[in-house]
Amino acid sequence: MTSAPSPTAGPITVAVIGNPNTGKSTLFTALTGIHSRIGNYPGVTVEKKIAKFQFNDREIRLVDLPGTYSLSPRSLDEMVSVEVLLGRQAEVGKIDVVVCIADASNLERNLYLTSQILDLGLPTVLVLNMWDVAVSRGVTIEAEALSKKLGIRVVPCEAHRHRQIDDVKRAILSAAGQSVISPPRVFPPEFYEEGLRLQSILKGWGDPDVPFYVAERMLLDVGGQVETSFTARFPAQLPDELNCARERLKANGFRVPSAEAKARYAWVRETLTGVLTTPAERPATRSDRLDQWLTHRTWGLLAFAFIMFAVFQSISTFASPLMSYCEMGQQAVGEFVGSWMAPGPFRSLVVDGVIAGVGGILIFLPQICFLFLFIALLEDCGYMARAAFLMDKLMTKVGLSGKSFVPLMSSFACAIPGIMATRTIENRRDRMVTILVAPLMSCSARFPVYTLMIVAFIPNIKWLSGWISLHGILFFGMTFLGAAIAIPIAWLFKKTLFRGETPPFVMELPGYKWPSPHIVLNRVYDRARAFVARAGTLIFATSILIWAASYFPADHSRQYQIEDQIDQMRATVQSELSQQAELEAAQKALPESDAAERTVLDQKLADLQPRLEPLNKLIEEKNAISEHLLETSYLGRVGKTIEPVVKPLGWDWRIGVGVLASFPAREVIVSTLGTIYSLGGDVDESHTGLHHALQNSKWQDGRPVYTIPVALSIMVFFALCAQCVSTLMVIRRETNSWKWSLFTFAYMTALAYIGALATFQIGTWITAV
């Protein structure tokens, strides 16, 4: 082992790899600080994370690889790590040093991956993290002796306390001076002969650069990713060659694939003899005692239910007010900017397009951050694995695994963090199905639609002295409709698109630990940034597009004239307007019983009306013009064109336009309906004027448009549709393909249409009977 410093002083590229739950991300941030570049490797869903730091005047580039228990790739995603380590990933380049991080308190299993890493022949540093946990469990490790046996640098470390971080940096630097290491010979000599032989055969077929590790994986992984991709290149010759090679190995007592694990664990045992001493009886740790409660049949479930309840309760307590601040902020900024600009297409673009578009992105942020905060906390402290353990049996009935539960549960608040949280599901098919059904969970953006329809059209019948109400039942039903539909849909996807044998549920239950605020906040920041930077631009673009469709090609000059007049009029009656606002506020604050005071206030308000009358007239006229403009816009025309399509759902063109306009986000339908019914766009779901307008809306023959079946059909549509650009963008990001966003949109829209159609037709039939 030579440790002469490298003569070239360019940056050192270091790959960091290790088992899950070893504190890899803690070490990564401890080494580099929080700034890292995040992207995707081309063609796969693996996240590429690279960060740099300086040490002793050398620049060190750290590449984070996904946590894994072994380096035997079974899919393209898993292949990424191997390609990066072998220097065959163009965007990363040659790897100078591998940092393999292991849990010191659980060294035996961790060294399995280490032994595979050593086969790569790269200069390696083994970091024994969580040294303090090992010590507290009575485990002792002779790091020096281990280093001698392995022929690499071994560094004890406590990354979460930022201890021995410089030792790791020094070890990286000195390992970088090394050219190669000679891997320990874990397998019998016959195996290495077969590997070399395979290499030369491939050379004969025209591929001279197959690293030994790739040949090794080709022999060892029956049906693995390496075998698959090479068979695709040499379909005629390779299967026979591999079969013969494996048969020869078997004749020598080396049975593929089981021989690898046996050989490596035997090597691990032998390596650890004289290095590792563990107490004869494993002492019951605090983590074990905690687990007796948290995975208990009864108490475990209760604790889980309580934790989920607390998460949702705190989201509604903390995130909802922030969301309404976002909304208020957007309005205030819109009004402020609007007041500085003359009415015209540019003002409309800025206020209704740009500011509304940015607002539409920001409004999701509080929820995303809060949900991700909780998800990151649960993950980092080790509880997430317990949640999966508790919920697994239930989820297997749908064809998913326990790991899908928390992402789907989170989607009840917002599908965006839910979809982002599916990264912990390592099985691709499970993860894809979870992503595809997550948007069916009833998120908070559906609530305004439900509220509008239920309050305006459904009589609030109460039973059991008000304990049960029809409104309550409907809200409950709508909330769980999506989840109920998701069950057969998930099952169907598992049977068709993502068919295959049930993936194993082989999951480590890591020891509990205090979550590191640094890691948790960093993860929240990463996700929020990813959402704003990558999904945000596209969400923004869609908002502008919808704005343009609803603005052009109509002639807006009359509207601007009136807006000008309104602005002037407002200035003249400013004192009356503020008086009116004060009186209305006072009236709201008044207790129901105070009838006398109420009449006084009513009288005062009525006295103000004559002065405000001209302004109100103008606003009415403006709203009427806005309605007409929307009707004649591209969006309105499309709405009218598709009326025959939505008519079977009981809808008129106005609802059609509302649905089209709400493509960026579901709740937009409320303000669109406000515009269509001449009330202006700044109404909300509890606006009684909007309720009346809907109730009075008529078909040409005088029948009311909105009947109970129509209201239900709209609600069912919005429960099942994919009117949320953010979700579609996040699906694209997480699956690294537009295909799945389009698929989600298509299947959910079809589902929503069929659901709404059935609701309306059955509802009409029932009311007719």
Partner 1 sequence: MKTLNDLRQPGQRGEILDVTGDDAVAVRLMEMGLTEGAEIELVGFAPLGDPIEFLIRGYRLSLRKAEAARVAIEVL
Q: Which residues bind partner 1 (CB under 8 A)?
A: 69-70, 72, 74, 105-106, 108-109, 112, 221-223, 256-258, 260-262, 265, 278, 282, 291, 295, 297-298, 300-301, 385, 389-390, 392-394, 396, 402, 501-502, 504-510
Q: How far is the CB of 19 from partner 1 (least distance, A)?
A: 10
The interaxial angle of helices 536-551 and 634-641, nearest 10 deg, is 80
SS3 of 227-258? HHHHHHHCCCCHHHHHHHHHHHHHHCCCCCCH
Q: Quick one: which of 86, 130, 80 has its CA closest to 110?
A: 130
Q: Which is nearer to partner 1, 9 or 266 (CB)?
A: 266
Task: Indicate the residue among 264 and 622 with the shorter CB distance to partner 1.
Answer: 264
DSSP string, 471-502: HHHHHHHHHHHHHHHHHHHHHHHHHTTT-SSP
Q: Which is nearer to partner 1, 11 or 257 (CB)?
A: 257
Length, in residues, of the chain: 769
Here the contacts of 552-556 (C-beta below 8 Å, separation 24 or greater) are 552/633, 552/634, 553/633, 553/634, 554/628, 554/629, 554/632, 554/633, 556/344, 556/345, 556/348, 556/629
Q: In angstroms, what is the minimal distance from the CB of 255 to partner 1?
A: 8
Q: Which is nearer to partner 1, 301 or 600 (CB)?
A: 301
Q: CB-wise, 138 or 329, nearer to partner 1? A: 138
Q: What is the smallest separation between the CB atom of 644 and partner 1, expressed in angstroms?
A: 50
- Work out how close the CB of 395 gets to partner 1 at its nearest, in angstroms, rounded to a whole number: 11
Q: How far is the CB of 253 from partner 1 (least distance, A)?
A: 14
Give CA 279 to chain center in angstroms: 42
**Least distance (Å) between residue 159 CB and partner 1:** 19
Q: Which long-range contacts (CB under 8 A, 24 or more apart) does 638-644 make?
A: 638/549
**How many alpha carbons lie under 13 Å from residue 237 in its C-beta half-sphere?**
9
Task: For partner 1, give the closer residue by CB, 109 or 248.
Answer: 109
Closest by CA position to 743, among listed 491, 489, 395: 489
CB of 186 to partner 1, least distance (A): 13
Shortest separation between residue 482's beta carbon and partner 1, angstroms: 24
Return the SS3 of 409.
Answer: helix
| Residues whose CB is less than 8 angstroms from the CB of residue 197 and which lie 6 or more positions away in sequence, other chains included | 245
Residues 6+ apart with CB under 8 A from 93: 13, 87
Amino acid at 138: G
Q: Which is nearer to partner 1, 318 or 505 (CB)?
A: 505
In which residue are the tokens 């979700």 written? 727
| 61 vs 431, beta carbon nearer partner 1 | 431
Smallest separation (angstroms) from partner 1 to the CB of 80: 18
Q: Report the residue number, 260 or 526, with the smaller CB distance to partner 1.
A: 260
Nearest-approach distance from CB 42 to partner 1, in angstroms: 25
H-assigned helices in 86-157:
107-118, 131-136, 143-150
Minimum distance from CB of 215 to partner 1 (Å)? 18
- What angle in degrees, to the nearest 10, is found between the helix axes of 365-381 and 383-396? 100
- Within 8 A by CB and 6+ apart from 473, the residues are none
Angle between helices 365-381 and 320-339 (to 10 degrees): 150
CB-wise, 32 or 72, nearer to partner 1? 72
By C-beta, is 298 or 603 nearer to partner 1? 298
